[in-house]
Amino acid sequence: MKGLVLKSTGSWYVVRKEDGGLLRARLRGKFKNKGLKLSNPVAVGDHVTLELEGEEGSAVITEIAKRQNHIIRKSIHKTAHAHIIASNIDLAFLVVTLVSPRTSFGFIDRFLITAEAYHIPVTLLFNKIDLYDEDTLKYQERVRKMYKQIGYDSLVCSAAEGIGMEEIKQLLDKKVTLFSGHSGVGKSTLVNVLVPDLDLKTTEISAFSDKGVHTTTFAEMFEIGPETYLIDTPGIKELGIVDIPKEELGGLFPEFRPFMAECRFNNCLHVKEPGCKVLEAVEAGKISLTRYDSYKSILEDEDNRR
């Protein structure tokens, strides 16, 4: 029997069968994950093979299908472990705000390179625009332009005022879309506006998972239309980068790529090496200093909340 993982609460998983019914499932044995130490071997979005067991509505996961892609971060609970936020994603929305709270560029760029590493397209959603004054709106346009120039689309929206909702709905159609963002950026409000019967769906899925587990602690997938799924994730305070070697980091910044091949040294880290064409591009204003600062901060493994 095949199924799709809608929710993981640690040791138990809620799985949607092909006929649309839900099962409570657990994992049989240990699964190897390409040398990575994972705090969650099964992730929301995984396609799995199941066997029914004992009580009605209960099953065992015997196999996890190969993932098309995934978004990963350092585990906040287990040292030296990684945590897969979700898998098999067609599009990721990163909800950002420039005020109340301000999303740092370090956080945005860490998310973008993690998605870039696994070939997941990202659209930035600038939320809470109803709170912006004229100067902030002008600043927002400059930020949007910076990301547009390097290939990242963005939309402006206000969950509170219903601005931009139709454009977002059109992008969701016939895709598996991940919603992510800092705590407090209004992501949950946004998801509730986009999926009006979300409370019902949450209650239905929660009935199959451990009682008393707070719903925003774990990622959760909802079917919101034919072949259309939305993955809601808990607010992230800090996004720790996993499994990206230092020498490969520059290649995950799209604007670095045209210059990297021209660097004098093929193992150039673009920090202080002589003949570095990336540094020359930064100095010439061809690469944004804001993005270059993010690159250095990730390279040095600094906190991303600044």
Residue ranges for the binding site? 127-130, 181-189, 263, 268, 270, 276
Size (the chain), residues: 306
For residue 227, give the amino acid letter: E
Closest by CA position to 288, among listed 178, 141, 142 = 142
Consecutive H or E run containing 125: strand 122-126
Distance between CA atoms of 184 and 246, rounded to whole angstroms?
31
Residue 166: burial class (beta carbons within 10 Å; 0-12, 13-18, 19+): exposed
Q: How far is CA 22 from CA 13, 59, 306, in A?
A: 10, 10, 42
* Pairing assessment for the beta strands 176-181 and 228-232 based on DSSP bridges: parallel
Distance between CA atoms of 216 and 187, rounded to whole angstroms?
11
For residue 197, give the amino acid letter: D
**Residues annotated as binding site for Zn(2+)?**
263, 268, 270, 276
**Residues annotated as binding site for GTP?**
127-130, 181-189
Instruction: Classify residue 202 by its DSSP letter.
Output: H
Residue 179: burial class (beta carbons within 10 Å; 0-12, 13-18, 19+): buried
